[in-house]
Structure 1
Amino acid sequence: MSENRDKDIDSRGVVVVGAGPTGLLLAGDLAAAGIPVTLLERRHPGRSNLSRALVVHATTLEALDSRDIAAPLIERGAPVRSLRLFDTAVVDVSELPTPYPYLLVVPQYETEAVLYERLERLGVRIRYETEVVGLRQDPDGVTVTVREASGTREERAAYVVGTDGSRSAVRSLLGVEFPGHTVVASVMLADAKLSHPPQTRIATNTDGDKFAFVAPFKDGYHRIICWDQKHAKAETEPVELAEVRDILRETLGSDFGMGEPRWSSRFHSDERQAERYRVGRVFLAGDAAHTHSPAGGQGMNTGLLDAANLSWKLIAVLRGRAGEALLDSYERERHPVGAAVIKGSGRLLRAAQIKMTPARKARNLAMHFALARPAVNRRIGFALSGLWITYPAPRGAHALTGRRAGDVALTGTPERLLEALRGGGFVLLAPPELHAVAAEAGVTAAVAADGGPVRLVRPDGYIAWAAEAPSAEEVAAAIAASGA
């Protein structure tokens, strides 16, 4: 970062409400850029050992790699390169065009631990037992009223981001609607050891009313997600070992020698999306903005990518490098992604809920033959992994604009684009004769080994601008317009 950019930082900073994965990543990005950040959490101090989310997908791992925190998370998880859907249908993700062609099965608390350790290194402390009870905006900033053990006080910030979950206080105070409905009641989670694990590392199946999903953790335990819609119980009821074993036997043919769980929980699953992700100086991200069924394991991943999209834009505006209009692009880019994830996970869930035996057999057979085709298998893999995400581009823009850049090989050091992005800024992939333009603007420049078009890559790994053979003036104009 150049010194002249640091001088422009808005000292009011950002208040982030909610210290789940989305809030932890966002606060870490802001702190790494030197932006003052306050992270508020209603819960008691300490990290939770609960683990609703269990899969980290390839696009998310790429985002973590660009922050140099993918490796410690991978060490805590179990890479899985295929999963079984609906009896004999298998999705193979091992050939996806990414450094991470697998699903990383890892408890949510481990993901949070890696993000929390990053925050500690950056000197950010979470203010626990702090509840947001009021919010008011004016042209210059936001005043947040919080209630703590010592009483009520006010926090002042340039911007506020609500990452405080599906029951978001920030969303409620904004008056933003959260339309949708419950799609599955009484979902049971359990982490247990299996004396005879499934042959496929991830196994899932359904008979319509009953559903089961089994995946391995690295420590020898397995995560089991299951439900029985005919015998749904209140969420306050404990999860019984016998009911989980019965569902496993009826859907997957075996209880796999399941032992007593070390942890279990019961909850309901909704499909909901906030009507707006931005209201003035206040933003919503993660579960505060969207919730969906556990099908596909998209929830936490979508929230983390919300944070990656929003953080660099807040940094650019707070530094005075971009105008407020850049912040409008957060909702424009991420709201359609949230809607698509809800739609996709909903389709998968409804396929799992087919009750008539002939229809289930037809579904299983159709899925088996469809996934035997490499093109279909690849398409499903893209949908699961997040590699499909593309953002809108201006009319007349190069075809690469808005697309994920991927981990482009570079000549020299660093050797990969994701490593070059670890500085938190834009990266210009261009021939050496254009590097002086980038240097003048404080942008990292590198030579792509593929010799492709000139590309200006955003901090979140997406292409802000591209051209086949631009002049130095065109490159300078693109950098200035991007907020780099």
Structure 2
Amino acid sequence: MKQNKEVLIVGAGPTGLVLALELAYRGVAFRIIDKNDGPGESSRAMLVVPKVLESYKKFGLDQTVSEKGIRPEHINYYVKNMKKSAIPLGRLGRGQSAYPYVVTFPQDEHEKVLLEQLKKMGHSVEWKTAFDSLEKIDDMNKVVLKKQDETVTGLFDYVIGCDGASSSVRKSVGITFSGETYEEIFYVLDAVIDGKITHEESGSFVFVEKYFALFFPLRNRQTTRGIGMFPPDLVRSEAFSFEALKPRLENEFSITIQKKNWFSDYKIHRRTADQFNQETVFLAGDAAHIHSPAGGQGMNLGIGDAVNLGWKLAAVILDDVDEALLRTYESERKRLAESVVSRTDNAFKVMASQSKVSQLIRTRVVPLAAFAAGQSEWLQSQVFKVLSQLYISYDESPLNNQGTSKLKSGTRLPYADGEQFEFKREAGWQLHYFNEAPDFSLFKKEIPVELIRRRWTDKTSKAGFEKDYLYLVRPDGYIGWTGKPGSTKELFDYIAVWIT
């Protein structure tokens, strides 16, 4: 392994911190900076999905986050203060993941967990250090940083902008952030709330004709996070204060807000960067894509960016893999981000519209659909697949081969028989097989691929595996190559291009 390249991560939110952990785990040197004094003390993001918990396994953070957060047992649907239906969340994803649940865990507490882990791995964030400008000098990036009253410069091979929707990194290289800002005004509230729509172990969607809100237990069993849309009449009168909103919520939702801990209003955007990288400058998280909070996908999507980019950077820097591998970051993550932005945009426009049809959907159709999902295990599994981000695949990735297995390249390694995460613990390339492994001694140099012999069971068959196939699994848990044991040349050709 070699390390003669400098990496700069700009932004120490969840995306930047997870990217730092990914690089630290693999032994890549880096610096991570943030313009703020320290980690945030308030935030809107709160949902942690199973796909993220799977990625946290190698750091030992999967159980930490699960235990520190709250696992909502149900999501309840109310029209005003009348409960119409509920979907069970506690074991919604049985058989799909080792983490068949979602976790509510405030972003500020989440960041503290990530920072503590980063410290254990021998790294820290350079706080009060702002990215100012970037200039290309040959193959390097000359970056100007501002540390309080001091200006310093540095040369970096790679710069990764994880610095949010107003990304200075993105602006410095002239990448357009295409999209729009919604007219609606939203609020986020942390408070002690009494009322039958609030539950210690469950979340609640509350709908009225012209707006909606979401409430989840938070921090401890007596505190609730509320996220919702300001009533249109308050928007027209520009009454965006908590004092203006409080009586409306208490009256229409039949609640009592006893104590406000934090309140903020904000606008929602739907935007995607036209490029996710420009040469050796990359964008991740909100710097690359931002959308409505529908489904709690935003922070989790950014963490997925970090996982995807992290192992690829490590392979190029430490193992001298061709930089074509880094170009697959944009082709995989940009297409996914565009899909999520489009889907959440469509959902948001229906839920926020003031049309009679949308009002009917909010107060009649959605509760009925939720009731149907609550009665059907199949519908619940489909809801979980989307909510959990386990549906994500890279069907058109340049990393895929054209194998004939039912499990296609680019799909997530299926969860079967409880074995998947033990196999992925080391987070390197792995070749999974059931009967016969290829003879790696025929390859001309050492191959950094772990051979994993799987047990053949009814569960592995049901998950889609085929007994006479080989499955080469990427460090992020997606299948890169499939083939039969006799496909040794094709396998070695793939390894020569993407791994060694």
TM-score (norm 2): 0.86
Which SS does the other structure have where 1:382 is aligned? helix
Instruction: Look up the match of 1:73.
Output: 65
- State the partner residue of 1:425: 428
The yes-or-no answer on 1:437 pairing with 2:406 is no
- Structure 2 matches for 1:327-338, cutoff 5 A? 327-338=326-337
Higher mean C-alpha displacement, 303-312 vs 95-104: 95-104
> Which residue of structure 2 lines up, in the alignment, with residue 212 of structure 1?
213
**What residue is the counterpart of 2:171 in the other structure?**
172
Q: Structure 1 CA distance, aligned partners of 2:238 and 2:108?
A: 21
Return 178-187 or 18-27, whichever deviates more. Answer: 178-187
Shift of 1:402: 0.3
Specify the SS of the correspondent of 2:216: strand
Distance 1:328 1:217 in 2: 39
Show the counterpart of 1:456: 472
Q: Deviations over 1:240-293 (max 9, x none)?
A: 3x614523642xx322x3221222222211111111001010000000001111
**How far is the alpha carbon of 1:395 from its aligned partner?**
6.6
Of 313-322 and 192-201, more deviation after overlay is shown by 192-201
Match of 1:117 in 2: 116
- How much identity, in percent, do the aligned residues show? 29
Unaligned 5+ runs, structure 1 = 1-5, 411-415
Tell me the matched-pair count. 467
1:453-484 C-alpha deviation (Å, 9 max, x unpaired): 32111111111112244444444333333326
Alpha-carbon distance in 2 for matches of 1:108, 1:15: 23
Name the counterpart of 2:233. 230
Q: Which moved more, 1:305-314 or 1:391-400?
A: 391-400
What is the Cα deviation at residue 408 of structure 1?
4.3
- Higher alpha-carbon deviation: 84-93 or 459-468: 84-93
Distance 1:471 1:140 in 2: 38
Distance 1:288 1:197 in 2: 39
Separation (CA, whole Å) in 2 of partners of 1:62 and 1:182 = 33
Does residue 247 in structure 1 map to residue 249 in structure 2? yes
User: CA, structure 1 residues 236+284, in 2 after alignment: closer, same or farther (shift >3 Å)?
Assistant: farther
Residue pair 2:434, 2:453 contacting (<8 A) in 1 also? yes
Deviation at 1:171, TM superposition (A): 0.4
Match of 2:217, as an amino acid? P
Alignment equivalent of 2:31, drawn from 34, 38, 53: 38
Q: Give the letter aligned to residue 29 of structure 1.
A: E
After TM superposition, the structure 1 = structure 2 runs for residues 225-304 of structure 1, keeping only pairs within 5 Å, are: 225-228=227-230, 229-232=232-235, 238-240=241-243, 243-247=245-249, 249-250=251-252, 253-255=253-255, 257-304=256-303
SS in 1 for 2:437: helix
Query: 1:341 is paired with a residue of what secondary structure?
Result: helix
TM-superposed deviation, 1:90:
4.1
Which stretch shows the higher mean deviation, 317-326 or 126-135? 317-326
In 2, the alpha carbon distance for the partners of 1:352 and 1:206 equals: 9
Does residue 382 (structure 1) correspond to residue 385 (structure 2)? The answer is yes
Unpaired segments ≥5 residues, structure 2: none
Q: Distance in 2 between matches of 1:233 and 1:297?
A: 28
Question: Which range is displaced more, 132-141 or 297-306?
Answer: 132-141
Cα distance in 2 for partners of 1:259, 1:114 equals 29
Inter-partner Cα distance in structure 2 for 1:117 and 1:307? 18
- State the AA in 2 paired with 1:36: A
What CA distance in whole angstroms lies between the structure 2 residues aligned with 1:127 and 1:318? 23
Root mean square deviation, CA, Å:
2.7
Shift in alpha-carbon separation, 1:207–1:420, aligned structure 2, 3 A: same
Of the candidates 51, 56, 59, which is equivalent to residue 48 of structure 2? Answer: 56
Tell me, in whole angstroms, the C-alpha distance in 2 between the residues paired with 1:448 and 1:248: 56
Q: Which residue of 2 aligns with 1:403?
A: 411
Using the TM superposition, give the Cα deviation of residue 294 of structure 1 relative to its aligned residue in structure 2, in angstroms: 1.4
Cα offset for 1:377? 4.1
| TM-score (ref. length: structure 1) | 0.88
- Indicate if the aligned counterparts of 1:166 and 1:287 stay in contact, CA closer than 8 A: yes
**How far off its partner does 1:440 sit?**
3.9
User: Structure 1 residues 359, 49: CA separation in 2 closer, same or farther (over 3 Å shift)?
Assistant: closer
C-alpha distance in structure 2 between counterparts of 1:186 and 1:360, whole Å:
18
Is the Cα contact below 8 Å between 1:55 and 1:297 reproduced in 2?
Answer: yes
Task: Find the residue that maps to 1:116 and give its secondary structure.
Answer: helix
Match of 1:413 in 2: none
Alignment of 1:190-201 (within 5 A): 190-198=189-197, 201=202
Alignment of 1:122-201 (within 5 A): 122-198=121-197, 201=202
| Counterpart secondary structure, 1:305 | helix
Checking the alignment, whether the CA contact within 8 Å between 1:64 and 1:70 is kept in structure 2 is yes
Post-superposition CA distance 1:149-200 (Å, at most 9, x none): 2521112121110000000000010101112222254321111123345366
Instruction: Return the alpha-carbon distance in structure 2 between the equivalents of residues 461 and 440 of structure 1.
Output: 22
What is aligned with 1:465?
481
> How has the CA–CA distance of structure 1 residues 184 and 425 changed in structure 2, closer, same or farther, with 3 Å as cutoff?
farther
How far, CA to CA, are the matches of 1:192 and 1:466 in structure 2? 51
In structure 2, what residue type is equivalent to 1:222?
T
How far the C-alpha of 1:16 sits from its partner, in A, is 0.3
